[in-house]
Amino acid sequence: MAVKVPSFTSIQVGLPKFNMPIAPSHGQPTVNWGQMAQPVVSLPPKNPFEQAQTLHKEGRLQQAKELYEQLLDTQPQHTEALHYLGLLHVQLGQRDKGIDLIRQSLSLDPNQFAALANLAPVLKEAGRMEEAEVCFNAALVLKKDAPELWNNLGNMQMSLNKLPEAIASYQQALALNPKMAAAANQLAVAFILDNQFSAALQAADQALAVDPKMADAHDTRGSALRRLGRLNEALASYDKALSLNPEQIGYIDSRCSVLEDMERYAQAIPGLQHIRSREPDFKCIAGRLLYAQRRCLSWSGIQTLTQQVVDNTLAGRLSSEPFNMLTFSDRADVQLACARQSIADTRPKQRKHLPIRSRQPGEKIRVAYVSADLREHAVAYLMAGVFEQHDRSQFEITAIALKPAENSPMGHRVKAAFDYFLDVSDWSDAQIIDHMRQHGYDIAVDLMGLTFGARPGIWAQGIAPVQVSYLGYPGTTGAAYMDCILADDMVIPPEQQQYYSEKVVYLPDCFQANDRKRVIADHSPTRAELGLPDDTFIFCCFNNLYKIGPETFDSWARILIQVPDSVLWLVENQEAVRQRAQQEALARGIAPERLFFAPRATYPEHLARMRQADLFLDTLPFNAGTTASDALWAGLPVLTCPGRAFAARMAASLLRAVGIPELIVPDQTRYEALAVDLAHHPDKLLSLRQRLADQRLQCPLFDTPQFTRNLETAYKNML
């Protein structure tokens, strides 16, 4: 759903310019203008003001202006003449003059409902939002039973990002007129923006019960269903909206978004291309198209498009979502610019800085971990052991779960690890903020950053004295309301701190938490069971394919050419994408049969099958993170070439912490040379594997208790 600036509903006061037909003056009968001869008026108005109004309605603005002015020369306190002359000036493009005249009229008689109701949208158009809201409220004092006015006030409050107030206004409009479909739809939009998705679905259904052909309501309904995870139903709603208005860019955007959620990127690409061809500056469209192409290994024109996205970002245009930018560029300055633009686009409210709570001697530090990923997810795989290892004599830890507890092994384990597990998935931002402020958390840790499903609105307003970004998003949030980011001096070298909006808090050894209890399946499948050749060297990369660009694939092809008796093992389920990878390999001189693909597996099974690979080849500019530590836990060496920003340096941090830094190489040439050398010298690789096995339980990377103590020390220092 592309959030639209809501239009004003007619309230029978004003001019066609504002979608508000002029109301009769002093209860006089409305003239049927269509029956009158033009331009001669057969029955002239009784007074100069009515004559000016007639000319005004006929569009003869200059003549009407002259009559209004002549009238005001003799009657300078004629409030209606001042009001309508002001509207006329607005129509002529002289908005400031028009505002002054309407205000002059109101200074003579503040109780003019029509003048107040007409002035409000003019002020909104001028960007004077607060003044416009005051006008609406003043009009409502005079006429509380006008549902259209309540709806318009809600629209104004939406423009001001005052969601609770807007919701209340729309609800009042609907209480007065339950059949007001526009208000019901806008109420649904407000609920979505306030993360109340079930309520949004009910409001959208109310709009559609009144007007089944309201395309906007079908689009809004789809967006509520999408956020509820009901993706097939969301797609059906978006399709219905498009059937009613096939050329509406916003509906095409919505449909592409849900296809992206469903990982049906090949189907999304034509729609993204269509949007970009019609509106090249449409929000994030270039970055979304680029990301979708990477997901499909559809690399035609990708270098040019990447450069355009980077250039636009540096020029101040929001061309990509921040997470996607991590896959396009390893420049920390570009990532910072993109994050700041994205945060600004959400119009965050000013943060309330909460005082650090005074604690009695021995009183525990209250830490809240906020995430939608406390389930079968990479963040939970890494953090589960830390949650369990926290020193309960010093810390009280609470989960603020943005999704309900999951009925899965990891879901049960994570829920049990917390002192309190609070499901806030159906809470509004205001409810979460109120709870957190009242409970008095000392530190709130955001495990999501700028990823889908995050709740930036709560952080923007302030939920704890210290707000920390950690783990779920490997980069800067660009947000002034985040105090700290947890890192190490590998992922954020000291000289790079200027490109992070947060204060960098360095952890010793490694930035990444790890769980030394992660389970590897008892059965280790053979190569034959996995469909892999027995007597060959297996290079692998189990990163998501969006991390693989043409430059990386070029490098891998050169490695495979120099190691003829080798294959490349990737993770992918979609047949079309596998075929694309084989086509790209063939274009680089690599036989398609040298590529193998691993289907999805349970986490323990995936760790077990990793053991059959010989060497993990990392990607740039977005490194392996959890995937790299999984490989190292399973005993599989990882080769990496670090880039410049956080996401491009993660694997290097892990390798340093696991004790095999010689697999960190400074450039792509040496990356390829070392991969080839290890393939040709199995004794060297065997030595690395043995060291990895010997050091696994002693190295800092997998020392969960010590990592937790380091993390707790960082928390104490923050306070």
Taking only the tens place, the pLDDT of each residue in 194-234 is 999 999 999 999 999 999 999 999 999 999 999 999 999 99
Query: Residue 595: phi, psi to the nearest 5?
Result: -105, 135
Helix or strand or coil: residue 49? Answer: helix
Give the other-Cβ count within 10 Å of 571's Cβ.
17
Structure tokens at 73: 């020369």
Mean pLDDT of 267-279: 98
For residue 396, pLDDT beyond 90: yes
Domains 9-156 and 537-702 share a fold: no
- Can you tell me the distance from the alpha carbon of 301 to that of 290, in angstroms, rounded to the nearest whole number? 9
Mean of the per-residue pLDDT values for the chain? 92
Say whether domain 9-156 belongs to CATH 1.10.10.60.
no
Helix (H, G, I), strand (E, B) or coil at 506: strand
Structure confidence at residue 17 (pLDDT): 34
Tell which residue, 463, 403, 423, has the closest CA to residue 439: 463
pLDDT at 139: 87
**pLDDT confidence of residue 6:** 53
Nearest to 571 by CA among 548, 552, 596, 554: 596
Does the pLDDT at position 658 exceed 90?
yes
Rounded to whole angstroms, the Cα distance separating 456 from 444 reads: 13
User: Residue 22 pLDDT more than 90?
Assistant: no
* pLDDT score at 46: 57
Q: Please determine, for residue 14, whether its predicted confidence score (pLDDT) is greater than 80.
A: no
DSSP letter string over 463-515? SSSEEEE-SSSSS----TT--EEEE-TTTS-GGGGGG-SSEEEEPSS-S----
Question: Once rounded to an integer, what is the mean pLDDT over residues 103-117?
Answer: 91
* Crossing angle between the packed helical segments 129-142 and 113-125, to the nearest 10 degrees: 160
Residue 686 has pLDDT above 50, yes or no: yes
Q: In angstroms, rounded to a whole number, what is the distance separating the alpha carbons of residues 719 and 712? A: 11
Write down the pLDDT at residue 41.
Answer: 40
H helices of 6-128, in order, are 48-57, 61-74, 79-91, 95-108, 113-125
Output helix, strand, coil percentages for the chain, rounded to the nearest 5. Answer: 55, 10, 40
pLDDT at 594 exceeding the cut of 60: yes
Read off the pLDDT of residues 113-157 as tens digits, 9 standing for 90 and up: 889 988 988 998 898 988 988 898 898 889 889 899 899 899 989
Helix (H, G, I), strand (E, B) or coil at 514: coil
Q: Is the pLDDT of residue 297 over 80?
A: yes
Q: At the fourth CATH level, which superfamily is domain 537-702? A: Glycogen Phosphorylase B; (3.40.50.2000)
686-688-690 Cα angle (round to 5): 70
Q: Are 20 and 9 in contact (CB under 8 A)?
A: no
Look at the alpha carbons of 364, 370, 372, 376 in this order and tell me if their dihedral is positive or negative. negative
Sign of CA dihedral 37, 39, 43, 49: positive
End-to-end CA distance of the chain: 40
pLDDT at 3: 52
Q: Which residue has the higher pLDDT, 368 or 346?
A: 368
Mean per-residue pLDDT for 60-88? 93
Residue 142's contacts (CB-CB under 8 Å, 6 or more residues apart) are: 111, 113, 116
Q: Is the pLDDT score of 20 beyond 70?
A: no
Pairwise CA distance, residues 387 & 368, whole Å: 11
Model confidence at 94: pLDDT above 80: yes
Question: Do you know the residue count of the chain?
Answer: 719
- Find the mean pLDDT for residues 21-37: 29
Position 675 pLDDT exceeds 90: yes
Average confidence (pLDDT) over 520-538: 96
Listed by start position, the domains of the chain span: 9-156, 263-345, 365-506, 537-702
Q: What is the mean pLDDT of residues 48-56?
A: 91
Q: Is the pLDDT of residue 10 over 50?
A: no
DSSP H or E run through 311: helix 302-314
**Residue 361 has what DSSP assignment?**
T
Measured CA to CA, the distance from residue 235 to residue 711 in angstroms comes to 43
Amino acid at 251: Y
Which candidate, 469, 534, 523, 488, places its Cα nearest to that of 654? Answer: 488
Give the bridge partners for 615, in sequence order: 539
Q: What is the DSSP letter of 705?
A: H
pLDDT at residue 8 greater than cutoff 80: no
What is the C-alpha to C-alpha distance for residues 605 and 475, in angstroms, rounded to an integer? 30
C-beta of residue 163 within 8 angstroms of C-beta of residue 169: no
CB 675 within 8 A of CB 615: yes
Task: Calculate the dihedral angle through the C-alpha atoms of 254, 258, 170, 112, rounding to the nearest 10 degrees.
Answer: -20
Residue 505's φ and ψ, nearest 5 degrees, are -105, 115
Asked if pLDDT for residue 19 goes beyond 60, the answer is no
Grouping H, G, I as helix, E, B as strand and the rest as coil, residue 371 is strand
For residue 37, pLDDT beyond 60: no
By the 10 Å C-beta count (0-12 exposed, 13-18 middle, 19+ buried), 697 is classed as exposed
| Domain 365-506, classified CATH 3.30.390.30, yes or no | no
Beta strands in 604-689 (DSSP E): 615-617, 638-639
The alpha carbon of 238 is separated from its chain's Cα centroid by a whole number of angstroms, namely 19
| pLDDT tens digit sequence for 451-505 | 999 999 999 999 999 999 999 999 999 999 999 999 999 999 999 999 999 999 9
Question: What predicted TM-score, i.e. pTM, was given to this entire model?
Answer: 0.88
Omega prior to 525 cis, within 30 of 0: no
pLDDT exceeds 60 at position 12: no
Percentage of residues of the chain with pLDDT beyond 90: 86
CA–CA distance, 194 with 123 (Å, rounded to integer):
26
Q: What is the pLDDT of residue 4?
A: 54
CA angle 566, 568, 574 (to 5 degrees): 150
